[in-house]
Amino acid sequence: MQIDVAAERKEILARYRALIKACKRRLEKGDKEMIRKAFEVAVEYHKEMRRKSGEPYIYHPIAVATICAEEIGLGATAIVCALLHDTVEDTDLTLDDIKGLFGPKIAQIIDGLTKISGVIDNTASIQAENFRKVLLTMAEDVRVILIKLADRLHNMRTLEHMKRDKQVKIASETLYMYAPLAHRLGLNTIKTELEDLGLKYTDEHSYLEIANKLIETEPERKKFIQKFIEPLKEILQEQGFNFKIYGRPKSIFSIFNKIKNKGVPFEEIYDLFAIRIVIDAPLEQEKSDCWKVYSIITDFYHPSPERLRDWISTPKSNSYESLHTTVMGPEGKWVEVQIRSLRMDELAEKGYAAHWKYKESAAEKENKLEEWLKKIREMLDNPDANALEFIDDFKLNLFSDEIFVFTPKGDMKTLPSGATALDFAFDIHTKIGEQCIGAKVNHKLVPLSYELKSGDQAEILTSGKQTPKEDWLHYVITARAKSKIKNALKEQRKKVADTGREILEKKFYKSKVDFTLQNVKDFCKYLKLPTSQELFYRAALGNVDVKEIKEFIKWKENPKKIVPRKTDSQKIEQLVTNARGGNDMLVIGDDMQELDYKLSPCCNPIPGDDVFGFVTVSEGIKIHRVNCPNAIKLLSNYAYRVVKAKWMNEHLISFLAGIKIIGSDELGIVNNLTKVISNENNINMRSITFDTDDGLFEGTIMVYVHDTKHLNHLIDNLKKVKGVNGVVRIDEKKN
| Nearest CA among 148, 83, 99 for reference residue 119 | 148
| Nearest CA among 346, 396, 373 for reference residue 188 | 346
| Nearest CA among 221, 285, 276, 274 for reference residue 243 | 276
90 is catalytic: yes
Compute, in degrees rounded to 10, the torsion defined by CA atoms 94, 95, 99, 105: 150
141 is catalytic: no
| CB-based contacts of 287-290 (< 8 A; 24+ apart in sequence) | 287/312, 287/313, 289/241, 289/341, 290/323, 290/339, 290/340, 290/341
| Nearest CA among 135, 133, 130 for reference residue 119 | 130
Rounded CA-CA distance 345/351 in Å is 10
Rounded CA-CA distance 491/509 in Å is 27
Residue 672 burial by CB count (10 A; 0-12/13-18/19+): exposed, middle or buried? middle
For 504, 510, 530, the CA distances from 501, given in Å and listed in that order, are 5, 14, 16
The catalytically annotated residue of 11, 55, 70, 90 is 90
Rounded CA-CA distance 278/338 in Å is 8
Rounded CA-CA distance 374/361 in Å is 20
Query: 316: which DSSP letter?
Result: -
> Positive or negative CA dihedral for 309, 313, 317, 320?
positive
Is the Cβ–Cβ distance between 120 and 387 less than 8 Å?
no
Query: 50: which DSSP letter?
Result: B
DSSP reduced 3-state for 696: strand
Is the Cβ–Cβ distance between 357 and 346 less than 8 Å?
yes
| Nearest CA among 734, 671, 729 for reference residue 705 | 729
CB atoms within 10 A of CB 268: 10
Task: Report which residue type is found at 459.
Answer: E
Helix (H), strand (E), coil (C) string for 345-397: HHHHHHHHHHCCCCHHHHHHHHHHHHHHHHHHHHHHHCCCCCHHHHHHHHHHH
CA 650 to chain centre: 26
| Nearest CA among 97, 99, 88 for reference residue 46 | 88
The catalytically annotated residue of 40, 44, 89, 299 is 89
Q: Strand locations in 94-251, DSSP E?
A: 243-249
Query: 650: which DSSP letter?
Result: S
Is the Cβ–Cβ distance between 345 and 361 less than 8 Å?
no
Rounded CA-CA distance 224/506 in Å is 85
Contacts of 211 (CB under 8 A, 6+ apart): 252
Strands 684-693 and 724-730: unpaired
Is the Cβ–Cβ distance between 475 and 482 less than 8 Å?
no
Query: What pairs with residue 585 in β-bridges?
Result: 644
> Positive or negative CA dihedral for 471, 472, 478, 481?
negative
Which positions are annotated as active-site residues? 89-90
